[in-house]
Structure 1
C-alpha cells in the first residue's frame, strides 16, 4: 500500500540531461549557455539504473505520474530504454516527455513502442523569424511542426507549451491559439517565470493569465473545464465550438503552492521540492555511498514531509527574487 504523506506526492519530474540543442531565452539564454559552458560530465548524471531505482521508491510513496525533461531529454542516448524500465513500475499510471520536438521525427515511434504516452512540446512562436530569434540558433518552426506530426502519427498525446513574455512574443497569442485549434492540439499558455538566476526575469515582462484570456476572448468563446485531479496546475478551458482545450499555468499571478504535489529530480541527482528552490537534496551521492532502499525511502519521505516551499506566494507578498534558484537546464519544467 502506498504511504500517505502529509501532502500528496503524485508527480515526479526527472531531468535526464542538462543541455539542449536550442538556447531559448527562458531557461538557457545564449549569453550564459554559450559553446564554452561547462555542462555536467557523464559521471555526474544519474544512470538509467539509478533513475529506475529512485523512481520505484517514489512510486511507493504515491507518485502516479513521471515526466522526463531536460535540457532536451532526447539528447540523452537510448532514452527509449529508460522508458522501458519505468513503464512496468506498479502504480505508475502515466509517463510523459517534455521536448522541443526537433528529434521526434527520429524517435517518436521508438518512444511510443517503449510505452511513452504523451509529449509536451515547447513552441513559443509560430512565426519563423521570431522563433529563430528566441531560440538563439535561427531554427525555424518547420522542424518543430515535423516533430508534432511525427508524434501524431506515432499515436502520442500532444500538448503545446508556450511561454509568453511581454514585448517578445505576446503578439503570437492569437496565431498560436488558431494553429493549435485548427490542428486539434491542446495548448498551455505559461506565464513568464523567474526560474533559475540567468534569464533576467522582471515582473514587468509578465503577461498574466487574465491578460492572455482577455485577448483570446476577442477571437474565441470558451467554457471552463474541471480539473482532472487534485494538484493539477493548469486552469483549463475549451472552445465552445470544439473539444480542443486551452490551459494556463499561472504561478506568477495566481499561485498554487498550497496544492502542489510535484517533486523534481535534477540531472545530477538532486531532489527539489519546488521549481524556485535552489536548495536541492543530494540523492545521488547518498545512493552511491551505499544507502539501502529503506534508507533512501525514509530520506525522501522526510524531505517531502518537511517541505515548506511557497515561493510563488512569497513572491507576491514580498516582491522579491533575491534567493538562489536552481537553473532550468538542471531541473526541467
Structure 2
C-alpha cells in the first residue's frame, strides 16, 4: 500500500525508505518538526464542509459541491488519526468545519478525543470554532464530554447586515450561543470577526465592546483569499493597521508580549485585563512560528491553510489490516506532511495561487 500527497491533479511520491531511515523525525513518537525547526503541536480537524450559514466571503448561496458523504471521516477514523497525532506531540485538537455542530455525533467526537493522552501522559486540549448556532442547546453536553475552549464567529451585531452577509436570519441564534458560552466556565472565550471594507468596518469598536461585556476576547481577522468563488480582492480587505487605528479612537492599546505560535497578536485595552486580538495573515504573516496542521473532513492532511498539496489518509484508514500497521502509515504520512511544509504561504508573492478548496472545505 502506498499513500501519496496530491497536488491538484498531480501525484507526488513520498520520500524513499532510505530518506525516511535517515530522518530522525521519522521515528514514531518523535516530535513533528519540519525542516525549518517548527515543532507542530496543533491539529485542526474539520468535521464537515457543510454549514448552516452562507457567508459571502466563504461560499455561494447555491450551487455548492459538497464532499461525498462516503468520503467523510467516521468518528472511529478521526480518533485513529488523532491518537497517532497525540503520540507524536500534538497537544491541541481544534474542531472546525464548515460548521462542526452539524455533526450529529459531535458530543461523542469531543468525548473520545478528550480521552487521548500525549507521550508524557498529559491529556490533550479540545477546542472548537463554531458559528454559534445550536451552541446553547449542546454546550452543557460538550463541556461534560471534555470541551476546553470555544471560538464563536460574529461579523456584525446588526440583524439586517447579518441577513445580507450570511444569507440567513440567524443572528439571534448566534447571540444565544454566545450568551451560553459567556455563562459557562470556558475561558478564554473568543469571538471572531472578518473585517470587511464597506461591510462591517464601522462596527469594529461596537464588536469589541460587545465582547468585553460578555467576558470574551474579540479577534479581528484580515479577509483572506479562501472564498469558494475566488472573488477576494486586496482592496476590500481591512488591514491590521486600519483595525488598530479604529480601535485606538476608543481605547489605549498596549501590546501583549509572548505571542509564541498563536495566530493572533493581542493588545490590552486601557491597560487590561480585557484584550483584543488581530489575525493579520495577509499584511503581517506569522508563518515563522506556525505550529498547525489540518485534517479535512475527507481525510486530507494539509500543512498550511493556503497549501495546494494534500496528503491523503483515506487509503491508509480504509485498507484492511491490523490497527498497528495503519498507525505506522498515519504516522509516516503526518511526518511527510510536516517535512513538505514551506517557510510561508507566499500570499504576497506574484506566484501565489489561491487553493482550489474554499475555507469551508479546508477547515478553519
Which TM bucket (shorter chain)? over 0.9
**Residue 87 of structure 1: how far off its partner (Å):** 0.6
Partner of 1:308: 342
2:73–2:299 CA contact under 8 A, matched in 1: yes
Kindly tell me: are residues 238 and 198 of structure 1, through their superposed partners in 2, closer, same or farther at Cα, counting changes over 3 Å?
Answer: same
Give the unaligned 5+ runs of structure 2: 1-27
1:18 aligns with 2:52: no
2:57–2:227 CA contact under 8 A, matched in 1: no
**Mapped partners of 2:60, 2:201: distance in 1:** 19
1:325 aligns with 2:356: yes
**Residue 149 of structure 1: how far off its partner (Å):** 1.3
Which of residues 277, 281, 291 is equivalent to 1:251?
281
**Mapped partners of 1:82, 1:14: distance in 2:** 11
Deviates more, 1:110-119 or 1:293-302: 293-302
Partner of 1:128: 159
After superposition, residues 145-184 of structure 1 pair within 5 angstroms as: 145-157=175-187, 158-184=189-215
Partner of 2:132: 101
Partner of 2:114: 87
Structure 1 counterpart SS, 2:348: helix
**Mapped partners of 1:78, 1:93: distance in 2:** 20
From the CA coordinates, give the structure whose radius of gyration is larger: 2
Q: What's the CA shift string for 1:54-103, capped at 9, x where partnerless?
A: 01111122211110000110000121101111111112432111111011
**Mapped partners of 2:358, 2:246: distance in 1:** 31
1:190–1:249 CA contact under 8 A, matched in 2: yes
After superposition, residues 203-242 of structure 1 pair within 5 angstroms as: 203-227=234-258, 230-240=260-270, 242=272
2:51–2:97 CA contact under 8 A, matched in 1: yes
1:192 aligns with 2:223: yes
Structure 1 counterpart SS, 2:141: helix
Q: Tell me which stretches of 4 or more aligned residues in structure 1 moved more than 3 Å.
A: 320-325
Which of residues 84, 93, 98 is equivalent to 1:57?
84
Structure 2 counterpart SS, 1:236: strand
**Mapped partners of 1:28, 1:232: distance in 2:** 26
1:3 aligns with 2:26: no
2:254–2:267 CA contact under 8 A, matched in 1: yes
TM-score normalized by the length of structure 1: 0.92
**Mapped partners of 1:199, 1:168: distance in 2:** 18
RMSD: 1.8
Deviates more, 1:83-92 or 1:322-331: 322-331
Give the unaligned 5+ runs of structure 1: none
2:162–2:168 CA contact under 8 A, matched in 1: no
Q: What's the CA shift string for 1:256-280, capped at 9, x where partnerless?
A: 1121111000011100111111321
1:194–1:321 CA contact under 8 A, matched in 2: no
**Mapped partners of 1:306, 1:17: distance in 2:** 25
**Residue 196 of structure 1: how far off its partner (Å):** 4.5
Deviates more, 1:175-184 or 1:13-22: 175-184
TM-score normalized by the length of structure 2: 0.84
Kindly tell me: are residues 323 and 159 of structure 1, through their superposed partners in 2, closer, same or farther at Cα, counting changes over 3 Å?
Answer: closer
2:134–2:177 CA contact under 8 A, matched in 1: yes
Kindly tell me: are residues 199 and 174 of structure 1, through their superposed partners in 2, closer, same or farther at Cα, counting changes over 3 Å?
Answer: farther
1:16–1:70 CA contact under 8 A, matched in 2: yes
